[in-house]
Structure 1
Amino acid sequence: MKTKDEAILEIRGTSIGKILDNSTSEEKFQNATLRPILKFQNDLFIEVFKNYATKQKGTFYLLSPEKKLQYIENSIQRDIKFRNSLKGIIIGLFTISEYKEYIQNSSQLNKRMMNLLIERLKNQVQLLESN
Structure 2
Amino acid sequence: MSERDTFIKEFRGQTIGSVTNQSTTEESFQNEVLRPILKLQNDLFIASFSNYVAKNKADFYGYTVEKKIAVIENAIQKDIKFRNALKGMIMALFTLDEYAVYIKNSSNINKRMMSMLIERLKSQVQLFELKEK
Same fold (TM over 0.5): yes
Kindly indicate whether the alpha-carbon contact (under 8 Å) linking 1:49 and 1:128 is maintained by their aligned counterparts in 2: no
Aligned partner of residue 18 in structure 2, secondary structure? coil
Q: State the match for 1:63 in structure 2.
A: 63
Query: Which runs of no fewer than 5 residues in structure 1 stay unpaired?
Result: none
> Aligned-pair distance for 1:61?
1.2
> Distance between the aligned counterparts of 1:62 and 1:99, measured in 2?
40
Cα separation, 2, equivalents of 1:57 and 1:23: 40
Aligned to 1:81: 81
Identity value in percent:
59
- 2:36 is paired with a residue of what secondary structure? helix
Q: Using structure 2 for the length normalisation, give the TM-score.
A: 0.94
TM-score (norm 1): 0.96
CA distance in 2, matches of 1:57, 1:73: 14
Taking the aligned partners of 1:21 and 1:101, their CA distance within structure 2 comes to: 17
Superposition RMSD in Å: 1.2
Distance in 1 of aligned mates of 2:42 and 2:111: 18
2:47 corresponds to: 47
Number of equivalent positions = 130
Deviations 1:16-42 (A, max 9, x none): 001111111100000000000000000
Report how far residue 60 of structure 1 moved: 1.8
Aligned partner of residue 28 in structure 1, secondary structure: helix
